[in-house]
Structure 1
Amino acid sequence: MTSVAVLDYGMGNLHSVAKALEKVGASRVTVTDDPAIIRAADRIVLPGQGAMRDCMAEMRAHGIDTAVRELVGDKPLLGICVGMQALLAHSEENGGIDGLGIHPGAVRFFSDVPAVREQHLKVPHMGWNNVRQLPQADGRPHPLWDGIADGARFYFVHSYYCVPEQPGLSAGECEYGLPFSCAIAEGSMFAVQFHPEKSAKDGLRLLHNFLRWKP
């Protein structure tokens, strides 16, 4: 039996994430903003889409920021899209906004990347793109990439990209005007910039792996 709390802070299509988790075998998925239910779950999913300022304000209003800080490293946590960005210290979005600060690093705007302007790449970065898997410290792929080919395509929708400071934190890399970190991992935390719930069989496989992961 695997219970999963999908953190509800009013941002994003949470029910599509919940349905995808049920499809790959979660026994109980609860979309919730209740810190007590979040703490009681076996696994946690921190999804998100929209403006970072609104995401952080809603997390603080519901006490979700405190619950995540308490539980990261204690039980498996999967961040998705803005949920990945929120784990870092600071974002340039909305004139600058602090994230949860679980990992040092910044979230930067694609439109400020010279190659994005020179190549007339559209912002937001939206659609399917290839993900290069980066090895862990022991040289092996991360367990959440099990059964997923290196270079598999995932679905992205974002205008900002993560720049973690911590060496070795990146678990996956994508390219859009520049190579950027699209997956980070440490201990029982794994987070992705793309949307696994919208990424067909490989996205479902990643969610399947998350449910069975024993960090």
Structure 2
Amino acid sequence: MLYSNADPISTTTGVNEALDVPSVPLQLLQQLEKLEELLILEGTKIPLTGRKLIDEEQILNQLTHIEQAIPESVKTAQRILNQRDEIIKQAQHRAQEIIRAAEQRAAQIADELRIRQQAELEAQKIRQQVQQEVEFMRQRAIEEINLLRQNTEKELAHLRQVTRHECQERQQEADAYADRTLAEMERQFKEMLAVIQNGRQYLKQHQAHRQP
């Protein structure tokens, strides 16, 4: 394998920037330094070209060691980067599901709110209707009570008038009966008085005949 001195290999700073991690483990630094030695110090120079021949197998083995020295967090980050589109797609799909669920819940809440408002309107309408019916029944009851009171007063007045008339008739009948009774008693007393007077007159005449 050819290696050009004009293309220097990236060192620790370049690796850190490529992996975008805050620090590189010591083992990885050592493996990178080993790779640098293989490329720069152990390569065979080709005259007049500025290039070197290197052992490909050693380079591949060293790259394997470097790969093994990469922290798991960096590998995970790389896998995440490689799967970024899929993760973003899944996140968008999940976000859409959440949005749909939220919209469905909002629609359900809106329906429940409309149902509740409709129920409140119906309840208010029923209350108003009941109040109107109660007021109508109350007014009707008052009218019936007033009418009953008026009829009762009329009946009482008529009854008093009839009673007064009957009392007057009974009084007249009683007076007439008393007058007839007294007249009969007067007649009888007159007859008795006449009998008494006749008896006295007879006694006086009889006494006068007995005197010498």
Q: By the TM > 0.5 criterion, same fold?
A: no
Answer 1 or 2: which has greater helix percent. Answer: 2
Answer 1 or 2: which has greater strand percent. Answer: 1
Q: What TM-score do you get using the length of structure 1 for normalisation?
A: 0.16
Larger Rg: 2
